[in-house]
């Protein structure tokens, strides 16, 4: 067993144009003041991080790590959630996702997809330069518009979508192998990899690639009605990252999982700050510890009610309180008899 590292904080929801959220040096000092020991970097946010430079220069990466270390922090992982989304986009979402891309490729789906692949590969190279071994991303989605089978899905539609998804990701996974970095897909509604079954479908198509792993976030399973503890039992060998995010699902006679197109605060299913929702984090931390999870517990603040800075400070304390320092001995060692092989045979009547 291993003691989970943490607490860490995903910075995507905090980066902004006002201090202390507008520069790498300032935001790392703020995160440390909140009680964090690590930070996860959104690679697309130029206020904090230059991805092009990080992929090209280990010296720049050493500088990034050095600034974090001055604040008492480690860099936990890089994220390409936005770029990964653009690796596979159904045309119905072209307009919605176009803003994730560089201005030069907007309005051009083919160029946008090539740019996205290049971005993820560069982030994997940058991860190696930073001394990291895991990377967070989204899979993108070609089949998501057909998630609910009405009208009836034509035979082969989903299979074709997953074949294409695997074709697009295989070269990225091979680059990840060359860099020594795992690609951890956040299992998330809106992505073709949104539960265990879809992850298995993808994994089969990429030849059970050793670098294809999961970013485990139980909040997304609560909102689907999926057993998030059993999920760890099934997939623990493929879980490479962990987001600490809470959620609640309170269905009524008016709405359920789909939320009736309501705002987050008015949905039956909504995200909450850690400890304010329905996730059994005691169970989650216990199972991840039991299976020897070696990564970080990273708070991803998304709450429809609580102020983000309050959520950040409370989240650090919450994770710290849930991390289990693993034992180095069995609790019943005091009663050990010190028996040897001969004694064991005698106890079994075999002497």
Q: What's the pLDDT tens digit per position in 180-239?
A: 999 999 999 999 999 999 999 999 999 999 999 999 999 999 999 999 999 999 999 999
Whole-angstrom CA distances from 110 to 7, 114, 157, 165 are 39, 6, 21, 14
Range of the domain at 50: 5-347
Yes or no: say if 316 and 36 are a contact pair by the CB < 8 Å rule.
Answer: yes
Contacts of 149 (CB under 8 A, 6+ apart): none
The answer, yes or no, to whether residue 327 has pLDDT greater than 90, is: no
CA dist 47 and 15 (Å) reads 8
Q: Mapping DSSP to helix (H, G, I), strand (E, B) and coil, where does residue 242 land?
A: strand
Provide the domain count of the chain: 1
On the question of pLDDT at 329 being above 90, the answer is: no
Q: Tell whether the model's pLDDT for residue 330 goes beyond 90.
A: no
Paired with 39 in beta bridges are 9, 75
User: Are 121 and 175 contacting, i.e. CB atoms less than 8 angstroms apart?
Assistant: yes
132: domain CATH number is 3.20.20.150
pLDDT at residue 291 in the model: 98
Tokens 């590292």 appear where? 5
Strands 269-272 and 246-249, sheet pairing:
antiparallel
Q: Is the whole-model pTM more than 0.85?
A: yes
Tens digit of each residue's pLDDT (9 = 90 or more) over 16-55: 999 999 999 999 999 999 999 999 999 999 999 999 999 9
Q: How far apart are CA 199 and CA 212, in angstroms?
A: 9
What burial class does residue 105 get, using C-beta atoms within 10 Å of its C-beta: 0-12 exposed, 13-18 middle, 19+ buried?
middle
């Amino acid at each position: 067993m291993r003691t989970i590292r943490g607490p860490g904080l995903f910075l995507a929801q905090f980066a902004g144009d006002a201090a202390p959220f507008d520069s790498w040096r300032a935001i790392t000092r703020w995160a440390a003041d909140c009680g964090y020991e690590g930070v996860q970097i959104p690679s697309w946010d130029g206020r904090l991080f230059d991805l092009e430079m990080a992929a090209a220069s280990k010296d720049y990466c050493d500088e990034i790590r050095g600034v974090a270390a001055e604040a008492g922090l480690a860099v936990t992982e890089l994220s390409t959630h936005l770029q990964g989304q653009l690796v596979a986009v159904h045309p119905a979402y072209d307009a919605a996702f176009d803003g994730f891309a560089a201005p030069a490729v907007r309005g051009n789906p083919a160029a946008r997809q090539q740019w996205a692949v290049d971005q993820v590969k560069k982030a994997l190279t940058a991860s190696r330069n930073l001394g990291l071994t895991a990377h967070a991303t989204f899979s993108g989605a070609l089949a998501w518009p057909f998630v609910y089978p009405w009208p009836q899905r034509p035979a082969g539609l989903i299979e074709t979508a997953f074949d294409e998804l695997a074709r697009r990701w295989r070269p990225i996974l091979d680059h990840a192998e060359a860099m020594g970095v795992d690609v951890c897909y956040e299992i998330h509604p809106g992505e073709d990899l949104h539960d265990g079954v879809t992850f298995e479908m993808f994994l089969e198509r990429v030849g059970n690639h050793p670098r294809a792993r999961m970013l485990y976030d139980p909040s997304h399973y609560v909102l689907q009605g999926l057993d998030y503890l059993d999920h760890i039992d099934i997939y623990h060998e493929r879980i490479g990252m962990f987001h600490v995010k809470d959620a609640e699902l309170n269905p009524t006679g008016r709405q359920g999982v789909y939320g009736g197109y309501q705002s987050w605060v008015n949905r039956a299913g909504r995200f909450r700050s850690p400890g304010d929702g329905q996730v059994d984090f005691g169970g989650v931390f216990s199972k991840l510890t039991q299976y020897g999870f070696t990564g970080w517990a990273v708070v991803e603040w998304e709450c429809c009610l609580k102020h983000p800075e309050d959520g950040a400070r409370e989240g650090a304390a919450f994770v710290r309180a849930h991390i289990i320092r693993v034992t180095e001995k069995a609790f019943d060692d005091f009663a050990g008899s010190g028996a040897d092989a001969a004694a064991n045979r005698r106890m079994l009547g075999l002497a």
